[in-house]
Structure 1
Amino acid sequence: MAKKSIDKWQFGDFQTPENLAKEVIETLKRNHAIQPDVIIEPSCGKGAFIRAAACGFSGSKILGFDINDQYVAEANSSVNGFFSSNEIQINQSDFFDTNWEYLIKNLPGYILILGNPPWVTSSELGLLNSKNLPAKSNFQNRRGIEAITGLGNFDISEWMLLRYVDWLSNRQGMIAILCKYSVARKVMRQIRQGRVTQFSGYIYLIDAKIHFGASVDACLFVLTVDIKHSGYEVYERLDLKQASYVIDDRDGFIVKNVDAYEKWKHLVGQDPHYIWRSGAKHDCSDVMELELVGNYLRNGLGELVDLESNYLYPLLKSSDIGNRRVKLNRRMVLMTQKSVGEDTSSISENAPKTWRYLSEHSSYLEKRASSIYKNKPPFSVFGVGEYTFTEWKIAISGLYKKLNFVVVGPINDRPVVFDDTVYFLSFYSAEEAEFIYKLVSSKPASELLESMIFWDEKRPITSEILRRLSFKALAQELAIEEQYFHWIQAISKSSQGQLKLRIAERNLAYLARQKDDVKKAGCI
């Protein structure tokens, strides 16, 4: 990698275009009517915001800082002699070594903290062995080993933004910075949870692809110490005067659209009968996932393998569910257990070729780093239960940026298994699955879920969000409550039958073991 690209990576160096900087200043003047006494840009780069602020705020003192001395020289050259109405100072400074508290304390009047902090994460800097990092701390209130070591991944701009927030405690001012939309929400949570000084928040969405060539949802994030509302107003463009919607805390979590959530919040509730699960987890696709090649199976190592069908199931992944490819499968998956922790030794008798295959590739499975496999039977999988092997399911991809539920039935008379990026409900019949699909794909359900989902997240749809939806309340809303109770009764009867069957199976197994013990003792 060239030095220039490494430098850009480790400093999150996305220089602000001149036209965007001017749009930001116009937005602050038009929608917030501020006239700051002092403007600070702690990471001013080549000075686009310095110049835009000097043009927009006549008479304001402007202080710019940057770690790159070449950028500082270029920024100074661009403003010298052109903005006589402003006192402008631009100096070379390392953000993480500067005594900002002392500097801010000695500044008079209303302060505007402006700019475009680095768009880079701490883990990316770690890959580069970069020193452009803050000291380790548990500012995100993490638990466990991440809290002890300070190793939790975070955006550098998030850490810097929280410093800005602390600077404005006990004084008048505004923060206006360009950042990822996800960073704005994280800072919002941090302010709500642990800051004495509260802020009014405004989020103006921008097209990062156009302005920076970056495929990420981004925004102008504005925080003011004058409290006008509890929620954070979201504007879909910089030139809008009215907010499109408001994000805020509701019932213990942040929702994307307060009005839509309030409209449908009577549909929120836990449903004990229909529980969203994530697909199976094995962390060894080279061994456990097998591609169908004619009449053969090929693993991820390129080996053609011959296995019994006992433990093989059709596999559908997020891309299959997201694109509604659910009638045919391209892969099979080895499911060595039907419940977490189940003994796997019976595979050697039930499917000797499968046991031999797993044993020959045990070194790959033993390398799995996750602690969930420690002290478990050999070749264990995770996230499995009776629900994994029901014939009918409703599934949705956690990765795709749309609400796209799909009914999934058996393939070649075998129940379908999903990977762990898919969430699903399980059913005993196609009719029950179709009924619940009618509920979950209804307009009320869609609008409630949409009000809680932030589509810019890496995995926007989660089981936590899906489990907030009460199917009973949905059935009442759609006036089909009787059908809901019909299926609840069917589940109860089926569950009781399954329970009786399992008890009978355990009793038979116990009697068989007793008989074997008697034989071994030579009594019969």
Structure 2
Amino acid sequence: MTAPSRPSRVERGDWQTPLELARQVSRLAARLGARPSSILEPTCGKGAFLTAAAEVFPDIPARGFDIDPGHVEAARLALAGAPVDVLLGDCFEVAWEDVLAAMPDPVLVLGNPPWVTSADLGALGSRNLPPKSNFKRFRGLDARTGKSNFDVSEWILLRLLAALRGRDFRMVVLCKSNVARRVMEHVAHEGVRVSGATYRIDARGAFDVATAAVVMTLAATPPPSGPPARGWAVFDSLDAEIPRRTMGVHGGRIYSDIDRLERTQGLEGQCTPAWRSGLKHDCAPVMELEAKDGALVNGLGERVDIEQSVVFPLLKGSDVANGRRPGRRFVLVTQRSLGEETRTLQDQAPRAWAYLVRHEEKLDVRKSSIYRDKPPFSVFGIGPYTFAPYKVAICGLYKKFSFALVEPHEGRPVVLDDTCYFLPFEARDEAEAVLRALQSEAARAFFEARVFWEDKRPIGKGLLQSISLEALVRSG
């Protein structure tokens, strides 16, 4: 059998689940109380989950579907003699209501839907996409075009949940952590009565991919006889018996820890002053300079002699997170406000202008569309706040709440890069008071209730902006 080509593999999210992992997931389903009368694997690949399910739930009839004829053939050979039907079918086109109508309750859904986004597929020119529809109304998708990006696995899981409405079922599937969260938001918004939990897995070890992934479990719950479940338990591994925390949806928004949420709701509000992003230039070899042997040297190894009026000390996110002092890195700042004309540098800083013109080709090929139709050598994340003498800063990339006070260096305000967020202050004592408040246990509990550390940039402006400094200072 010929292995799928790389584009085909990417298009279909075709990373086969190791059989041992499929066995662990199937055993988890049994441990959680699954006693199925039928089993469904909507994207079965070469049959790892169907094989594992046949071992853990012997003699239970199962059905599997896959779009790849080679995979279907391999699964049929692996499951010869088991009560399993493996069928060729595109999960986007299968009439799941009809399939499930022939399967007795309780139904157990196992599997690992493709880990690929609609944007990935569009970039590949793939036609292997679900039909455009407003399947996530509450998240503001364009109902007419369905153009917004989404995970294919999310579409499949929500499609199956719709087909299972009113049925006695349990779903135990692999997915990215953020997909599990969006499914959780969906069922809360739609009022689907299910209980759920997530169990963290090692995606790098299993699939050699650098993403946060979980086993998501869902089970139909009977009509209400009491208060609804508070949330979804979050377990650190498939073997864990005690959850580390409980996620929950409140007011249409998902929270990472609803116990901490309940203790910190009084701190919610709009932060004043507003959090700002650091400087964005997208051309470090030209724009960033390093102090070496009494001179400034750019990333190309060139000694740079330009006016000090456009050179500012720079702290990058790693510097802020690790408590480093300014003085080693510097940055060329071409504007004082967003959209400001840069050609004035020809008169105000002619050596800097000549330096920029000399490297014009490198600056002109910056990929981000934000530079299009802007003055030459423009930067972003720029404004009066950039030049505030004192800042309380944090790096958005690090998985810790480590706020730092940034002070002037040799009389010059320190500029932060675009991995940082900061609050600007004119007075040191005001900045110090805010820093103390943000380092308090109350602030930590507030942020921990709302952060998802598995995200690529877990600390974002929206999270930081959601705390009221006034309420926080008052609480201390």
Post-superposition offset of 1:184:
0.5
Do the aligned partners of residues 143 and 25 (structure 1) sit closer, same or farther apart at CA in structure 2, a change above 3 Å counting?
closer
Which residue of 1 is the match for residue 220 of structure 2? Answer: 225
The more displaced of 454-463 and 386-395 is 386-395
Do the aligned partners of residues 95 and 271 (structure 1) sit closer, same or farther apart at CA in structure 2, a change above 3 Å counting?
closer
Which residue of 1 is the match for residue 460 of structure 2? Answer: 462
Which residue of 2 is the match for residue 404 of structure 1? Answer: 402
Which residue of 1 is the match for residue 15 of structure 2? Answer: 14
Post-superposition offset of 1:207:
2.3
Deviations 1:461-502 (A, max 9, x none): 011111222233332332xxxxxxxxxxxxxxxxxxxxxxxx
* SS of alignment partner, residue 120 of structure 2: helix
Which residue of 2 is the match for residue 515 of structure 1? Answer: none
Post-superposition offset of 1:355:
2.7
Which residue of 2 is the match for residue 200 of structure 1? Answer: 195
Post-superposition offset of 1:360:
4.6
Which residue of 1 is the match for residue 69 of structure 2? Answer: 69
Which residue of 1 is the match for residue 262 of structure 2? Answer: 262
* SS of alignment partner, residue 449 of structure 2: helix
Post-superposition offset of 1:44:
1.4
Which residue of 1 is the match for residue 166 of structure 2? Answer: 170
Which residue of 2 is the match for residue 115 of structure 1? Answer: 111
Deviations 1:400-432 (A, max 9, x none): 112122222222322111122211112223333
Which residue of 1 is the match for residue 344 of structure 2? Answer: 346
Do the aligned partners of residues 22 and 340 (structure 1) sit closer, same or farther apart at CA in structure 2, a change above 3 Å counting?
same
Which residue of 2 is the match for residue 290 of structure 1? Answer: 289
Do the aligned partners of residues 292 and 10 (structure 1) sit closer, same or farther apart at CA in structure 2, a change above 3 Å counting?
farther
In the alignment, which of 55, 67, 87 is matched to residue 91 of structure 1? 87
Cα distance in 2, alignment partners of residues 48 and 372 from structure 1: 46
Partners of 1:164 and 1:175 within 8 A in 2:
no
Cα distance in 2, alignment partners of residues 79 and 113 from structure 1: 18
Post-superposition offset of 1:24:
2.0
Cα distance in 2, alignment partners of residues 235 and 17 from structure 1: 21
Deviations 1:311-330 (A, max 9, x none): 11122222222332233333
* SS of alignment partner, residue 95 of structure 1: coil
* SS of alignment partner, residue 35 of structure 1: coil
Q: Which has the larger radius of gyration?
A: 1
Gaps of 5+ in 1: 479-524
Cα distance in 2, alignment partners of residues 122 and 302 from structure 1: 41
Partners of 2:109 and 2:171 within 8 A in 1:
yes
Do the aligned partners of residues 15 and 375 (structure 1) sit closer, same or farther apart at CA in structure 2, a change above 3 Å counting?
closer
Which residue of 2 is the match for residue 379 of structure 1? Answer: 377
User: How well do the aligned residues superpose, as a CA RMSD in angstroms?
Assistant: 2.9
Which residue of 2 is the match for residue 323 of structure 1? Answer: 322
Which residue of 1 is the match for residue 39 of structure 2? Answer: 39
Partners of 1:279 and 1:424 within 8 A in 2:
yes
Do the aligned partners of residues 18 and 363 (structure 1) sit closer, same or farther apart at CA in structure 2, a change above 3 Å counting?
closer
Cα distance in 2, alignment partners of residues 67 and 291 from structure 1: 54
* Letter paired with 1:320: D
Cα distance in 1, alignment partners of residues 363 and 24 from structure 2: 54
Cα distance in 2, alignment partners of residues 143 and 419 from structure 1: 32
Partners of 1:170 and 1:197 within 8 A in 2:
no
Post-superposition offset of 1:235:
2.1
Which residue of 1 is the match for residue 54 of structure 2? Answer: 54
Which residue of 2 is the match for residue 305 of structure 1? Answer: 304
Does the alignment pair 1:247 with 2:279? no
Deviations 1:187-214 (A, max 9, x none): 2223334x36343222122222333333
Does the alignment pair 1:280 with 2:275? no
Deviations 1:276-330 (A, max 9, x none): 1111223444443334444444445565432111111122222222332233333
* SS of alignment partner, residue 92 of structure 2: helix
Identity %: 43
Does the alignment pair 1:214 with 2:209? yes
The more displaced of 148-157 and 200-209 is 148-157
Which residue of 2 is the match for residue 475 of structure 1? Answer: 473
Partners of 2:290 and 2:328 within 8 A in 1:
no
Deviations 1:139-167 (A, max 9, x none): 455769x8876554332211211111121
Partners of 2:45 and 2:75 within 8 A in 1:
yes
Do the aligned partners of residues 344 and 210 (structure 1) sit closer, same or farther apart at CA in structure 2, a change above 3 Å counting?
closer
Post-superposition offset of 1:437:
1.7
Do the aligned partners of residues 327 and 257 (structure 1) sit closer, same or farther apart at CA in structure 2, a change above 3 Å counting?
same
The more displaced of 452-461 and 131-140 is 131-140
* Letter paired with 1:49: F
Which residue of 2 is the match for residue 26 of structure 1? Answer: 27
Post-superposition offset of 1:42:
1.1
* SS of alignment partner, residue 459 of structure 2: coil
Do the aligned partners of residues 460 and 441 (structure 1) sit closer, same or farther apart at CA in structure 2, a change above 3 Å counting?
same
* SS of alignment partner, residue 338 of structure 2: coil
Aligned length: 468
Partners of 2:407 and 2:413 within 8 A in 1:
yes
Could you tell me the TM-score, scaled by structure 1's length?
0.80
* Letter paired with 1:314: P
* SS of alignment partner, residue 422 of structure 2: strand
More helix by share: 1
Cα distance in 2, alignment partners of residues 24 and 371 from structure 1: 44
Post-superposition offset of 1:397:
0.9
* Letter paired with 2:313: P
Do the aligned partners of residues 366 and 137 (structure 1) sit closer, same or farther apart at CA in structure 2, a change above 3 Å counting?
farther
Partners of 1:111 and 1:172 within 8 A in 2:
yes
Deviations 1:208-259 (A, max 9, x none): 2333333322111112231651522222222334433211123452110100
Do the aligned partners of residues 217 and 378 (structure 1) sit closer, same or farther apart at CA in structure 2, a change above 3 Å counting?
closer
Post-superposition offset of 1:359:
4.2
* SS of alignment partner, residue 310 of structure 1: helix
Q: What does 1:102-141 correspond to in 2, within 5 Å?
A: 102-137=98-133, 139-140=135-136
Cα distance in 1, alignment partners of residues 417 and 401 from structure 2: 18
Cα distance in 2, alignment partners of residues 250 and 450 from structure 1: 15
Cα distance in 2, alignment partners of residues 353 and 216 from structure 1: 45
Cα distance in 1, alignment partners of residues 80 and 102 from structure 2: 25
* SS of alignment partner, residue 324 of structure 2: coil
Do the aligned partners of residues 215 and 367 (structure 1) sit closer, same or farther apart at CA in structure 2, a change above 3 Å counting?
closer
Post-superposition offset of 1:371:
5.4
Gaps of 5+ in 2: 223-227
Cα distance in 1, alignment partners of residues 140 and 168 from structure 2: 34
Partners of 2:258 and 2:449 within 8 A in 1:
yes
* Letter paired with 2:199: Y
Which residue of 2 is the match for residue 180 of structure 1? Answer: 176
Which residue of 2 is the match for residue 438 of structure 1? Answer: 436
